[in-house]
């Protein structure tokens, strides 16, 4: 027995995490989402099996997801950048508001109840899914992205909400850019760059936010150093990262091979499925 699990259970969890890494890396390339939208639900099940208390399970999932997104998003961004698909003007306008939003989200994460993370995840996932699946040409905020304070407010919101969801910001930036008439392929590529800005300070913020958790739950091995630093599980990160780096460039190639509508429908259906998992969790209290 190790950490309350027998060897067979440990092997099964390890294989699940490795497979998750492969899928999250591929999705990071396809959708520009950093892979967090798949990592968080899978981590949630893994940490439940490992006996992590409900009160800290969701933030542990989110912090670990942000840590894994770091190398995945860098790999995805480099692949999109080489294709010339990243809008560098948006990056220059958003980098500071996004970093401020990430810092604010990290502070909220330290004190927020566990249900808040799920509610934010579900609300945004469902909103984005509806926009993508039932998209109409008239569903737009305008023909051009704003350039003043509103654009910076958007950046702040992307940062804080992404930090509370454990994703790289792709859900929000994809949604905003398509609402202003930008092509989905450009939105995906630019989102991969935003994931780099969000994941690094976000992971550090969750280490800070979760540092008291080890002392609060001394019997939970998965929360103790060296198995975890704050709300970042080193075991989860180490098992997921390698395969995510291998498959991210494959996802980029797949994204550029898809039609605009196919990419929108695939992304929307995926978000609906992921959001539904946490609706069931909120209703069932698990």
What pTM does this model have? Answer: 0.76
Q: What is the DSSP string of 205-230?
A: HHHHHHTTHHHH-TT-GGGSTTTEET
- The yes-or-no verdict on residue 78 having pLDDT over 50 is yes
Express each pLDDT in 80-116 by its tens digit. Answer: 788 887 888 888 888 899 999 999 988 888 888 878 8
Give CA–CA dist 108/275, Å, rounded: 21
156 pLDDT band (50/70/90 cuts)? Answer: very high
Task: Confirm if 66 and 267 have CB atoms less than 8 A apart.
Answer: no
User: What's the pLDDT at 138?
Assistant: 61
Express each pLDDT in 142-154 by its tens digit. Answer: 677 787 888 899 8
- The yes-or-no verdict on residue 1 having pLDDT over 70 is no
What H or E segment, with its residue span, contains residue 139? none
Residue 210 tokens read as 């979760």
Express each pLDDT in 189-239 by its tens digit. Answer: 787 788 888 888 889 989 988 888 888 998 887 888 888 899 999 888 888
Integer angstrom CA distances of residue 141 from 157, 174, 175, 182, 263? 16, 14, 11, 11, 21
């Amino acid at each position: 027995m190790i950490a309350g699990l027998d060897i067979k259970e440990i092997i099964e969890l390890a294989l699940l995490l490795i497979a998750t890494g492969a899928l999250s890396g591929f999705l990071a390339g396809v959708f520009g989402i950093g892979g967090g939208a798949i990592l968080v639900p899978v981590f949630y099940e893994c940490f439940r099996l490992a006996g992590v208390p409900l009160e800290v399970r969701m933030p542990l999932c989110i912090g670990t997801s942000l840590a894994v997104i770091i190398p995945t998003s860098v790999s995805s961004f480099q692949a999109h950048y080489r294709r010339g698909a990243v809008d560098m003007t948006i990056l220059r306008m958003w980098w500071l508001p996004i970093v401020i939003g990430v810092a604010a989200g990290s502070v909220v994460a330290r004190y927020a109840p566990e249900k808040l993370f799920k509610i934010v995840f579900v609300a945004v996932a469902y909103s984005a899914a509806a926009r993508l699946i039932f998209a109409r040409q008239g569903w737009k905020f305008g023909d051009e992205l704003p350039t003043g304070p509103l654009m910076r407010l958007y950046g702040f919101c992307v940062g804080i909400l992404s930090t509370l969801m454990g994703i790289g910001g792709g859900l929000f930036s994809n949604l905003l850019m398509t609402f202003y008439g930008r092509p989905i392929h450009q939105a995906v590529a630019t989102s991969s760059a935003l994931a780099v800005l969000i994941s690094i300070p976000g992971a550090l913020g969750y280490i800070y936010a979760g540092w008291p958790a080890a002392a609060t739950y001394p019997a939970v091995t998965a929360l103790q150093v060296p198995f975890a630093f704050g709300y970042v599980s080193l075991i989860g990160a180490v098992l997921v990262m390698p395969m995510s780096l291998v498959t991210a460039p494959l996802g980029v190639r797949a994204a550029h091979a898809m039609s605009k509508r196919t990419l929108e429908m695939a992304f929307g259906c995926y978000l609906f499925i992921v959001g539904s998992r946490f609706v069931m969790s909120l209703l069932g209290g698990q």
